[in-house]
Structure 1
Amino acid sequence: MKSKIWIGIIGAIAAIILIYYFTSSSSAESAGILVSVKKGEFVIDITTTGELEAKNSVEILGPKGTRDYRIWNMTIQDIIDEGTLVKKGDYVATIDPSELTNKLKDSQLELEKIESKFIQTKLDTSLDMRKSRDELINLAYAVDERQLVLDQSKYEPPATIRQAEIDVEKAGRSLEQAKENYKIKRQQNIAKMQEVSLNRLKEQRNLDGMKDLIQDFTIKAPEDGMLIYIKDYNGRATKTGSQINAWNPVVATLPDLSTMISATYVNEVDIRRVEAGQMVEIGLDAFPEKRFTGKVLRVANVGEQRPNSDAKVFKVSIEVNEKDDLLRPSMTTSNRIITEKAENKLFVPLEALFNLADSITYVYKKSGLNAVKQEIEVGESNRNEVIVKMGLEEDDQVYLNKVSGMEKSDVNLLPELNGKRKQEKLEGSKPNVPDTIRKDSAGGEFKRKRKAS
């Protein structure tokens, strides 16, 4: 009888142990996905979206010299399709010449007016000079007459002779004055003719210049190549109906497809980590199976505000190392800029991090059949993972989400961080807990931060 009682007691205890084992094990397993702490090379990168363009290209320019005729903006009346292969001298586009045509007509009317004024001035000066010459001849005759009277009055009384001498002197002086006036009037009329002649010449040159310029409103290819539309500040292609300005009359480009670059934009938070010469992994949205390498060619020194984005971004040019016929201008690229590589580092997914009161970073670490809240010290992070400086070992396992039933459990604190926590508490600062930073193609960012349990 006693043996049966002991057997029953032992069986009950075994059943309780088995029930506890399976319930606790299933509870821990149902808590979420377990991942192991990894150790190895940790890559810190920045991912952006870019657009392919040729490193070198030939610009197809519209008419030059339009500023001389106060034409500041011109409209593209017609342009061939983007991607068309052209030969040197082939037709590319037509610029609307209506504004220049109106100015040309006005110039023709102005030239006719100046021509009429030129003829009128020429006739007026000719008549004026003829009148002056006739006056000189008449004054010379008057001097001869006075001299003849003087010669005939030598037997007259002295008073009469003196009067005749005075008349001769007055006539001679009038003649000399008329000669001086003639010289001045001649110079004056020459100046008048020069003025109208210069006005006529200036307007004639202006008209001839516009006649030559209007020929440039039909644009032809300067070299062989594939025609690519240029884009304005807002990213819109310059095509039929678009306007170009007189300071930069570029209509399209003929890219050199042998060397391509990916033009991308990095937000102001990450730009400090980007430098020329850094390696880049490049993918094509159109051909996901294709992978290329590149390097950062240059980084803009001045930020800009892109359309539909509140963040300031900096333009970064990435040169593609490989050559491939698939690479075409305007293709969308995914760029992974490798900013730093750290060797022999422990790291875990960002999803495994949790915060307590914005001062303690911890993970749910698997410990035997259960889980514990373990404080960790974190370092640099990338898009998916973060370096663990302290608190975990290689091959430890952590959960990617909260373990149910542990909301009120204590966190196993690291003694090494006590002084740091006290200092942060005194300064009222928060620890450097990395957020997951997701960047869109325009350089904006989305942040995801774990809330305290």
Structure 2
Amino acid sequence: MKSKILYVLIGLIVVLAAAWFVLRPGSKADADMLVPVKKGEFEILVSASGELEAKNSVRITGPSSLQAIQIWQVKISDLVAEGTAVKKGDYIALLDKTEIGNKLRERETELQKEESRFVQTQLDTTLTLRAARDELTNLAFTVKEKEIVLEQSKYEPPATIRQAEIDMQKAKRSYEQAKENYRIKKNQAAAKMQEVAVLVDQNKSRVQQITDIMKEFTINAPESGMVIYQREWNGRKKTVGSTIQPWDPTVATLPDLSVMLSKTYVNEVDIRKIKKDQIVRIGLDAFPEKKLSGKVISVANVGEQMPNSDSKVFEVNIQVNESDTTLRPAMTTSNNIVANKLKDVLFAPLECLHSQGDSLTYVFKKSGASIVKQQVKIGQTNDNEAVIIEGVKEGDDLYLSVPKNAESKQLVLLPASPAAPAITSRE
């Protein structure tokens, strides 16, 4: 009988010890699920990934006067590898010369035609003027002849003298008309020669213009630096096979790596939080151990549509404070923009928050050995935590997930909150 009682007492002690181990404050089972409500400075962060680029860079461009010869786009047929270190004057790229070569041949053919026309016009005017000069000389001789006839007719009858006078006047008149005609023909010849000469000069200038532009199809580095490919409007980099246009002749850039920017895009929901000069914490995907700092230097006023997405985003440029030789354009950055800081506020992880409908938010709070389902009023949030305005106090332990059988508990409302139906267990 005594041994039976002893076994019962031992069993009871074991049960009580197990219950105390599970339910005691600070037990590991609770410690893994509970977090305290903290009080202090709360940062409102906006996180966005970005891409490094140089704040200042020298553009490597193709011909800027393609439009003048009616070429609207040119393909890149060769381009040095991105990241190549070059010196001033080094070869960078070669543009496709097919179209400009055709235009050069067309213009050279046109020039040959105009030069032939110039020679022909020159010959025609020479012959025309020679004939006019011969006629003028002959008419001058005719006037002399008529003068001699008139001189010899002074002993003739008056009618004969009168006829000689009329003949001499006609000869002089013809001579004067021939002189005027020669002057007009000479001016006409000069005008024709000037006209064809202008066309020849124009075609020569166009041939020279095309020749000069063709030389620019071989692109060399304007300065020393590292070659970084230029991005097109759709975000893709220009490479072999890409095209350049007269209004955007940039092939690549030579960035100044001493001052870097992180270009990022913030969604339209968060953009109202972003302002110029806000502090930014910057991380590098390529070097996770590096922690950089920066500040917002510009925020776009107009949003843009992301490809394959319905969301609108706004471009935000962040200047990196540090100068680091490991920083390279196109490196991916993680940017945490400090949009605001709140002093002496209560906050807890977002995982502690649960919702009922659209307006009620509550937490599961540990109270001694029991659990309280407490409504709370939420303030601003960041990616990980939320400010709690009412419902808890500093040091309260909150559950990170729904405790077992806690859903059946009655919701404790805030004093000013309207009545809400209790959430009951589905069990």
Deviations 1:5-44 (A, max 9, x none): xxxxxx9xx99x969x779959x96899222111111000
Unaligned runs of 5+ residues in structure 2 are: 1-8
Q: 1:27-426 alignment to 2 at 5 Å?
A: 33-418=33-418
Shift of 1:234: 2.2
Deviations 1:176-198 (A, max 9, x none): 22222221211111011011111
Output the CA distance in 1 between the equivalents of 2:273 and 2:146: 107
The 8 Å contact of residues 42 and 342 in structure 1, kept in 2 or not, is answered as yes
* Partner amino acid, structure 1, of 2:325: D
Output the CA distance in 2 between the equivalents of 1:184 and 1:272: 80
Output the CA distance in 2 between the equivalents of 1:346 and 1:189: 99
Deviations 1:187-231 (A, max 9, x none): 111011011111112212222232233222222222221111112
The 8 Å contact of residues 118 and 193 in structure 1, kept in 2 or not, is answered as yes
The 8 Å contact of residues 32 and 403 in structure 1, kept in 2 or not, is answered as no
Q: Which moved more, 1:101-110 or 1:342-351?
A: 101-110
Q: Which moved more, 1:276-285 or 1:72-81?
A: 72-81
Output the CA distance in 2 between the equivalents of 1:408 and 1:167: 141
Shift of 1:301: 2.2
Output the CA distance in 1 between the equivalents of 2:246 and 2:135: 58
SS of equivalent to 2:308: coil
TM-score w.r.t. length of structure 1: 0.82
SS of equivalent to 1:387: strand
Q: What is the count of residue pairs matched by the alignment?
A: 409
* Partner amino acid, structure 1, of 2:59: E
Q: Which moved more, 1:288-297 or 1:146-155?
A: 146-155
Shift of 1:262: 0.9
Q: Which residue of 1 aligns with 2:5?
A: none
Percentage of matched positions with identical amino acids: 53
* Partner amino acid, structure 2, of 1:378: I
Q: Which moved more, 1:57-66 or 1:316-325?
A: 57-66
SS of equivalent to 1:416: coil
* Partner amino acid, structure 1, of 2:86: V
Shift of 1:107: 2.0
SS of equivalent to 1:415: coil
Shift of 1:161: 4.0
Deviations 1:269-323 (A, max 9, x none): 2112111211110101111111111111212222222323321211111111112
Deviations 1:82-109 (A, max 9, x none): 1111122222221122222222222222
* Partner amino acid, structure 2, of 1:347: F
SS of equivalent to 1:92: strand
SS of equivalent to 2:416: helix
Q: Which moved more, 1:161-170 or 1:258-267?
A: 161-170
Deviations 1:411-449 (A, max 9, x none): 22222345xx99xxxxxxxxxxxxxxxxxxxxxxxxxxx
Q: Which moved more, 1:141-150 or 1:104-113?
A: 141-150
The 8 Å contact of residues 25 and 370 in structure 1, kept in 2 or not, is answered as no
The 8 Å contact of residues 347 and 385 in structure 1, kept in 2 or not, is answered as yes
Q: Which residue of 1 aligns with 2:3?
A: none
* Partner amino acid, structure 2, of 1:311: S
Output the CA distance in 2 between the equivalents of 1:24 and 1:247: 74
Deviations 1:99-130 (A, max 9, x none): 22222222222221111111000000001111
TM-score w.r.t. length of structure 2: 0.87
The 8 Å contact of residues 154 and 161 in structure 1, kept in 2 or not, is answered as yes
Q: Which moved more, 1:350-359 or 1:312-321?
A: 350-359
SS of equivalent to 2:216: helix
* Partner amino acid, structure 2, of 1:230: Q
Q: Which moved more, 1:306-315 or 1:160-169?
A: 160-169
Deviations 1:367-402 (A, max 9, x none): 232222222211111111111111111111222333
Output the CA distance in 2 between the equivalents of 1:379 and 1:37: 14
Deviations 1:304-361 (A, max 9, x none): 2232332121111111111222111111110101110111011122222222231222
SS of equivalent to 1:358: coil
Instruction: Summarize the Cα distance change of 1:280–1:49 in structure 2 as closer, same or farther, 3 Å threshold.
Output: same
The 8 Å contact of residues 97 and 214 in structure 1, kept in 2 or not, is answered as yes
Shift of 1:157: 4.9
The 8 Å contact of residues 31 and 404 in structure 1, kept in 2 or not, is answered as no
Output the CA distance in 2 between the equivalents of 1:85 and 1:121: 58
* Partner amino acid, structure 2, of 1:147: E
SS of equivalent to 1:190: helix
The 8 Å contact of residues 348 and 388 in structure 1, kept in 2 or not, is answered as yes
Output the CA distance in 1 between the equivalents of 2:167 and 2:345: 124
The 8 Å contact of residues 244 and 251 in structure 1, kept in 2 or not, is answered as yes
Shift of 1:51: 0.9
* Partner amino acid, structure 1, of 2:62: G
The 8 Å contact of residues 31 and 402 in structure 1, kept in 2 or not, is answered as no
Unaligned runs of 5+ residues in structure 1 are: 1-10, 423-451
Q: Which moved more, 1:195-204 or 1:38-47?
A: 195-204
Output the CA distance in 1 between the equivalents of 2:287 and 2:104: 53
